[in-house]
Structure 1
Amino acid sequence: MDTSVLSAEDVELEYVSAAGVRERGSLGRLWPVPFESVRPERRFPAFRGQGNWCGWYWSVTCGGHVGYESWLERDRMMLLDFDPLVTGMASQPFRLSWTGSEGKRIRHTPDFFVRRADGTALVVDIRPDERIEPPDAVKFAATAMACSLVGWDFARVGVPDAVLMANVRWLAGYRHPRVHRTGVAARLMTVFAEGGGLLDGARHVGDPVAVLPVLFHLLWRQALTADLGAGLLAADTEVRLGMVREGGQDAVCVRGCCEQVTWSASTAACRQWPCWRGPRSGWISTERGRGRGRRNASATPRAVFPPVSAWISGTAPCRRRPPPAGRLHPSGRWLPRCRRRVRPL
């Protein structure tokens, strides 16, 4: 079948609901399902000799972990999490299938389903330009056609800008709501109302070691903004008020394109935060794709955030030495790692 004449009834959609039930039907019937809340359609395997790095990323937008199948997917998911107009997303949300021109059944699973604040949807496929083969191009074209039939947007994206991605990775280390300090945030918003240098503004509010984490958190939420694509964040980076303004601890869009961006410290707080790891924390982390990661039993995890003191002094933040293999008892004593063999996912 020619993909240019596809109809919503010709495309079959299969997904796994939040309750774990596998559903199947035509795209024309199932498109109203809130796919930002479904489970991944397939698992994220881990095995010896694996060429790609799978893992789980803790998303502020979703308030939980979202899986990825490569570091490129992780980076793109981090950018989606950084976008304040994104209110929900799911990885490997569903599988589409249709009859190809030769009569064979063609199947394709998009990488992400994204829900925006205005209610519109975006389906994302991630593949660098140099890795797109002719069969892949056919699948992407058919997926774009199927999405247009039900009013969804479709985007095929590749490798993001290196400078932008480096800055977003740094800010992601401060994305968790627990970094927020209402009083410090209010003073920072006042100091940067007219714009100014990043480090000078932080020193004007107080001790940079205590203020910078809140400043980076506001940059992540885009309550404050800087040109993240022009260069790496530095002491003289110009910071000004962003597209999201402080409303208690909620983020409110000031562009007028939506009433409220659903970021809230009460709803986005991760109930499993001891297993969350910052991208430069030095821990063995699922975000770096090193297996399943290790959960810390301590109520106060160590080395979660990037080293602010090294950043202030101008030295490159070196990776800290990982803690001993095992887990941390609440008393502060390290327990040896169990030597039983762990089955892969």
Structure 2
Amino acid sequence: MSSPVRRKFLISSIVAALAAAAAVLFAPSAPASAHGNVIGPSSRNYGCFERWGSKFQDPAMATEDPMCWQAWQANPNAMWNWNGLYREGVAGNHQGAIPDGQLCSGGRTESGRYNAMDAVGDWKATSIGNSFTVQLFDGARHGADYIRVYVSRPGYNPVTTPLKWSDLELVKSVPNTPAAQWTHQQSNGVQQDIPVSVSGRSGRALVYTIWQASHSDQSYYFCSDVNFGGSQPSPSTPSSPSASPSQPSSPSASPSVSPSVSPSTPASGACSATFAVTSTWQGGYQGEVRVTAGSSAIKGWRVLLTYPGTPPIQQGWNATLTTSGNTVQATNAGYNGSVAAGGSTSFGFLASGASATPTLSCTATV
């Protein structure tokens, strides 16, 4: 091979390799369908996904939710894969497998994907009373050999101090419970509601949950930031992730300043849907659909997005998407189908080409 041709070949190979690496870094992956997480009080990575996953381009996260911002920068897949924070082969020796200071990452499990969950700081906290409910979602219907709920001891401050095993007090233990016996049976999994009571608590604390799945020796670990008796302001509009402090997690995206919004007519008063373009970049954009319940609570929802031509949607989250002709059907996930009267939830997607506003229709199960 001549020298000029060889140089061209090497350059082409390097460019191709860099492009492949960029695709891995920048393209968010859909959450794994298996496994699960504590969705209430939301764990650190599920809370970050819930608040910001549908607008992961928005730089407002850096000031409005800085702990989630650092987590998205450290590894966006910790949020996209919010249901995969587990270790295998622990054999019940949780304290032996997980060092102090690493409890929220499961001992830096999954090759360090969740390390940012251990970061000390002012994570968004859920306000709860001394009696509260832990909601554990199991997307694969594993069931549980046991579930243990701990609360950090009085005097421990998660804003300033790394979590140690000695900081925790066991407050609830649930014995072997097959998935068929969990509290809520849903289309995309099951949910176990675990009532917990403590006494005389106020201020910031951590709720730590260990779920030992039944299908194998697979242990899940979740840190949920709470505020006993306090008031937590409503979270800001969800925003955007990033891959590392020096790297953007998406291709040169700029948030849409004036997002286009398309309302739908409520279906028999059950639900309505609105569409907004939340960010755009050359060759693509991100969209969000917000589903709002009418005068009555709903148990599930379905939104039809109809386009004038072939739907441009490439990837979505917080809903199951199926395409037929020029219509995309979005059906709620197992964890966001129930919406209180007047309440709302959302799902998002990435799309190719110039931003296009679909015609929306919403139907609900009440």
TM-score range, shorter chain: under 0.3
TM-score of the two chains, using structure 2 as the length reference: 0.21
Higher relative contact order (CA 8 A, sep 6+): 2
User: Larger helix proportion, structure 1 or 2?
Assistant: 1
User: Larger strand proportion, structure 1 or 2?
Assistant: 2
